Chains A and B, each alone.
Chain A
Amino acid sequence: MAARDLIRDVLLAPESITSLTPLDWDLLMRQGRRANLLARLAHVLNARDALDSVPSAPRQHLVSAMRITERQTIAVRHEIACIANALEGSGVPLILLKGAAYVAADLPVSVGRIFSDVDIIVPRPLLGQAESALLQHGWRGSTLSPYDQRYYRRWMHELPPMRHFRRDTTIDVHHNILPETARLSADSHALLDNVVSVPGHDRVFVLQPVDMLLHSATHLFHEGEFISALRDLFDIDGLLRHFGSRPGFWDELVRRAAAVGLSRPLYYALRVSVDLLRTEVPKDVLATASIGRPAAPLAWTMERCFALAFQPVHPSVDTAAVKAARFALYVRSHWLRMPMHLLVYHLGRKALLRTTSADTPVETARPA
């Protein structure tokens, strides 16, 4: 069987499910689960009243995936309330990023989205207050080696993940949208100065629409891991479709990207989303966004790499070309993240640790 990204094809053309064979359904469920897109597929089919036409066995997996994300949406709302409560009185505004922001702002992309943690961003000068407020309310820092602590605190754009001791939920506290050491320097202050409060909560904020898109794009196109890359690209597609109908959105998007120094990731986001997900982006917007385009041979290579890498991380689409593209992007993600001398040091240390320490068990093979 030829390698194919069935989950993407079906999400783009849900009416095609009528021609799927049992083995196609089998592959679709596996790719969808691995790419964290199974619940999204379920919601897409449900919105078209097509869930009943799915054969019974795969339909159960779709139903099951929907139940998980329905539950997670409730849990994320509760978690947001808990974080808001913890930060109250600390002088730190609660600004949500990514999935939690989509839920809080009630955006269509939040429907059927799987969560692993909540991401927030705080102005750098308030980082200490934010960390201690969270510690006082039951979150605990990760027990990391001194090297990892330094890696996060000196070089990265976020604190080591913090975990709530009772609810076992994880929060990532960012203070910048890119690592301190990154080659591309973005103006995080400008983003933080233009946050908007979410309906019904005067003290919970999200980035304004253009910035939300720019942040998602920056995150995805600096990424070196691809488990959720296709899902994240669908997020970008969903944000563009949702906000694209608002007057002035497109013009503001390109202008804003240039102003905060994120024209490159915006260019990639629009180009790749159009190519892979057939997102409707006005022609003139694509043309003006090309100020972020690198020189032609590089642009062509990068777009090829993204197209290969942004597939489900699954044996069915794991060709040599996909592996090569992912490796290249992995190296690039580190290259973008820090200057050469730090990069050599950091990767060298990681490689050394990998050969000396055995992998640790995550769980033992029993259900409870």
Chain B
Amino acid sequence: MKVGDLSPDALRRQVGEGNLLIDLAPFVARLRCDVDSAVRNLASMYAAFSVLPSDHFADFHIQVMREPGLRRWYRPQARFFFDGQPSFTPLPSDQAFAMIEWGLNWCVAAHAHQYLIIHAAVIERDGRAALLPAPPGSGKSTLCAALVHRGWRLLSDELALIDMDTGQVCGMARPVNLKNESIDVLRAFAPEAVLTPPVPDTLKGTVSLMRPPLASVQRRREPAMPAWIVLPRYTAGSPPRLVAHNRARTSLLIAEQSFNYDIQGLRGFDALCAVLDRCECLQFTYGDLDDAVRAFDALAATH
């Protein structure tokens, strides 16, 4: 049974009662939500994800619920709860679906220390993965969203989960978070992409989520071996430039962009070095997504 197989009413009921278990391999989330817009977006974004029976183990119990009292009617707000505990500031209820996404990212980043977790997008082609680590605003999500519509497989746009024993990286193939101008840029670039209605005035500006391509969702259990670390840098009007990047600097940047490098100690350092030993370190400056597709295709063709 997939999320998309449930009728809107059945989904609303199940998620309203807190009985919706979504298979986000390698995790399972148990979700409760009473915000209609969020449930509609959930149906669309997670259509191809499996629903698990309600007696299944869940890694993360999350609730996104409308705030009571006056807030029901006057500028309604919703709040994120982690296993019944209010965890973050309430936000306007039209941000409820984005809150589920950010909350899930937080759940993984704060609890899944069996992995070395790096703030990076991950895409794969022919068994080789490219990690795109970057501070926000560097265009990694836009680049990732574009490439996964041109033959690359989506693993994640936000969290690279490195298995410290095998060196492989996995992702959950969850929706891609697009912000501000990149929403229209992507719509123009890939008209077939399915996006949630943009929500203005969030902490990150205007936000829209993009449905992960079906093929990526179907293969989300397959990890991939990192082959490239590419630091993307969007510069308007710039010609594409893919150049080698200093390995030591890259390793520092990866450590800095890790959510739990500090917790892993020596194990984390060794895992990081192993990833770097295997990867070509590059910096990619671009101003146009078609250029980016060509540059990454050329990269995939190398041996």
Interface residues of A (CB under 8 A from B): 21-23, 25-26, 30, 33-34, 55, 57-58, 60-61, 63-64, 67-68, 70-71, 74, 314-315, 361-368
| B28 sits at the interface (CB 8 A) | yes
Contact A365 B114 (CB under 8 A): no
A250 to chain B, nearest CB (A): 40
Decide yes or no: A365 and B89 within 8 Å by CB, A58-B57, A61-B111 being known contacts: yes
Contact A57 B59 (CB under 8 A): yes
Contact B89 A364 (CB under 8 A): yes
Contact of A365 among B84, B103, B113, B159 (CB under 8 A): B103
Q: In the assembled complex, which residues on chain B have CB atoms less than 8 Å from the CB atom of A22?
A: 55-57
Decide yes or no: A57 and B28 within 8 Å by CB, A365-B106, A367-B109 being known contacts: yes
Decide yes or no: A60 and B102 within 8 Å by CB, A26-B57, A368-B119 being known contacts: no
Contact A21 B55 (CB under 8 A): yes
Contact of B59 among A61, A67, A71 (CB under 8 A): A61
Total contacts A-B at CB 8 Å: 84
- For window 91-118 of B, CB contacts with A under 8 Å fall at 91, 99, 102-103, 105-106, 108-114
- Bound-state CA distance A366–B80 (Å) is 11
Q: In the assembled complex, which residues on chain A have CB atoms less than 8 Å from the CB atom of B55?
A: 21-23
Contact A67 B263 (CB under 8 A): yes
- Bound-state CA distance A67–B91 (Å) is 33
Known: A70-B265, A365-B106. 15 other contacts (CB 8 A): A21-B55, A23-B57, A30-B83, A34-B83, A57-B59, A63-B114, A314-B83, A315-B84, A362-B88, A364-B89, A365-B80, A365-B87, A365-B99, A367-B110, A368-B259
- Bound-state CA distance A132–B66 (Å) is 48
Q: In the assembled complex, which residues on chain A have CB atoms less than 8 Å from the CB atom of B59?
A: 57, 60-61
Write 24 A-B pairs (CB below 8 A) sorted by A numbering. Answer: A21-B55, A22-B56, A22-B57, A23-B55, A26-B57, A26-B58, A34-B83, A55-B57, A57-B59, A60-B114, A63-B114, A67-B114, A68-B113, A70-B265, A71-B262, A71-B263, A315-B83, A362-B87, A365-B87, A365-B88, A365-B99, A365-B106, A366-B204, A368-B109
Which 5 A-B pairs rank lowest in CB-CB distance, beginning with the nearest?
Answer: A361-B89, A365-B88, A64-B113, A367-B109, A315-B84
B257 to chain A, nearest CB (A): 8
- Secondary structure class of chain B's binding surface, majority of residues: mixed
Q: In the assembled complex, which residues on chain B have CB atoms less than 8 Å from the CB atom of A361?
A: 88-89
- Bound-state CA distance A114–B263 (Å) is 13
Decide yes or no: A367 and B88 within 8 Å by CB, A23-B55, A23-B57, A67-B264 being known contacts: no
Contact size class for B? 35 or more
Contact of B113 among A30, A67, A314 (CB under 8 A): A67
Decide yes or no: A64 and B91 within 8 Å by CB, A365-B106, A366-B203 being known contacts: no
B85 to chain A, nearest CB (A): 8
Interface residues of B (CB under 8 A from A): 28, 55-59, 61, 80, 83-85, 87-89, 91, 99, 102-103, 105-106, 108-114, 119, 158-159, 203-204, 259, 262-265
Residue of B nearest to A360 (CB): B89
Q: In the assembled complex, which residues on chain B have CB atoms less than 8 Å from the CB atom of A365?
A: 80, 87-89, 91, 99, 102-103, 106
Q: In the assembled complex, which residues on chain A have CB atoms less than 8 Å from the CB atom of B113?
A: 63-64, 67-68
B103 to chain A, nearest CB (A): 6
- Bound-state CA distance A33–B106 (Å) is 16
Decide yes or no: A366 and B61 within 8 Å by CB, A64-B113, A67-B113, A67-B264 being known contacts: no
Contact B57 A64 (CB under 8 A): no
